[in-house]
Amino acid sequence: MQIGYQERNISYQGSGVTLGGTLTVPADSAPRAAVLLLTGSGAQDREYTMSGFALFRTLARGLAEHGIASLRADDRGVGSSGGSMPASTLEDFAKDALAGLGTLRVQLGTGLPSGLLGHSEGGAVAQLAAAMSGSVEFIVTLAGPGVAVEANILAQTELIGRANAHPDAQIRRDVELLAAILGVLRSSASVETLRPLFLAKAREDVAAMSPEMRRALTDIPRHADVLFRQQMKMMDTRWFRSLAAYDPAAVVPSLACPILALYGERDLQAPAFINAEGMRAALEQAGHTASSVRIVPGVNHLFQIARSGSPAEYPSLAKEFAPGVVSSIAEWILSLSAKPAMEQ
């Protein structure tokens, strides 16, 4: 049985770190375009596997079937890549992306349309990279931010809470606590000022428990301290601070390259109803005519056919993109070869 792709592992120099990745090319013909794939939040390996679904391996091989080569890499501090993801910023990742795009061009030769494809946070990285360099010829974002990341974080907290049938009072408390955390992170205040809020949350959590669980959890201040340390381990980092501060409205209007922005109708993590409109407004401000914003019906944050869109159902869904997702990305990329690469 003939397959439509060939793969080989490579390493290249990012911004002060060595990165390891996989180059995927069409098996029987020269590539018609090339794209660097950029993962979403968290320390991800090159396959970008979520609940058993290897998004980037699946996407790379699907794009190769359409004649598009790609490079996907381990994040900093993961697999074959050096450095540390939590100690890095979106700007660091954007510089890595430009290095990866340059590597892709060296590997395949110049002259091919070449650009960046980012999922979720990777969409922000792609936008920043294009703002840093005019060498990015196109961007594809899958569930990438169209409004400020802070607004997305608060919206997803509420939407996922509702999808998981949490009480309204709990959802309200969770959103208020998260808003307070984000406010401290964007200020010069110490995160230690948040400890009283975590103590209040711990008391509310305990009050909502069954009598048996309340009897077992007698040290509420210790419970609050555990909650605080767990939350701050992720959020009080250079990575999260840079992510939470990101607003595409300050970046996208300045970009010259065409953008394809896809959103899932049932996405609860980057809700289409706010992000698609935000992206459309930013692109209209930029005067883009080759760009496109689309909402894909019936799909979640991972572009799978979904029921509710809640991350809780990810493990039960088919480990594949919804029909037409990969082909629509490929068709848009290939359509650019008939247009000026930097058309506005």
Are 5 and 57 in contact by the 8 Å Cβ rule? The answer is no
What integer is the mean pLDDT of 116-126?
98
DSSP letter at 75?
A: P
Q: Which amino acid is at 284?
A: E
Beta bridge partners of 293: 261
183, 275: one domain? no
What integer is the mean pLDDT of 283-295?
88
Calculate what percentage of the chain has a pLDDT beyond 90.
76
- Asked whether residue 185 is domain-assigned, the answer is yes
Higher pLDDT, 202 or 126: 126
254, 119: one domain? yes
What domain range is 236 assigned to? 150-243
Q: Which amino acid is at 91?
A: E
Query: Last residue of a domain, which of 203, 218, 243?
Result: 243
Query: Last residue of a domain, which of 182, 208, 243?
Result: 243
- Asked whether residue 237 is domain-assigned, the answer is yes
125, 267: one domain? yes
Exposure class string for 281-293: b at 16+ Cβ within 10 A, else e: bbbeebebebbbb
Alpha carbon distance 294, 325 (integer Å): 11
Q: How confident is the model at residue 268 (pLDDT cuts 50, 70, 90)?
A: very high
Lowest-pLDDT range, 142-151, 233-242, 244-253, 331-340? 331-340
- Asked whether residue 138 is domain-assigned, the answer is yes
> Rounded to two decimals, what is the model's pTM?
0.92
Taking only the tens place, the pLDDT of each residue in 168-181 is: 988 998 999 999 99
46, 118: one domain? yes
**pLDDT at residue 212 in the model:** 77
Tally of domains within the chain: 2
Calculate what percentage of the chain has a pLDDT beyond 70.
97
**pLDDT at residue 213 in the model:** 75
Alpha carbon distance 105, 159 (integer Å): 41
DSSP letter at 23?
A: E
- Asked whether residue 312 is domain-assigned, the answer is yes
105, 188: one domain? no
The enclosing H or E element of 35 equals: strand 33-38
299, 322: one domain? yes
Residue 343 has pLDDT above 80, yes or no: no
Q: How confident is the model at residue 342 (pLDDT cuts 50, 70, 90)?
A: very low
196, 308: one domain? no
Taking only the tens place, the pLDDT of each residue in 206-251 is: 777 778 777 777 788 888 888 888 888 888 999 999 999 999 999 9
Taking only the tens place, the pLDDT of each residue in 26-70 is: 998 899 999 999 999 999 999 999 999 999 999 999 999 999 999
CATH code, domain carrying 272: 3.40.50.1820
108, 141: one domain? yes
- Asked whether residue 343 is domain-assigned, the answer is no
132, 257: one domain? yes
- Asked whether residue 344 is domain-assigned, the answer is no
234, 254: one domain? no
Given the DSSP bridges, would you call strands 53-54 and 49-50 parallel, antiparallel or unpaired? antiparallel
118, 60: one domain? yes
Query: Measuring CA to CA, which residue among 69, 76, 38, 75 is closest to residue 55?
Result: 38
110, 229: one domain? no
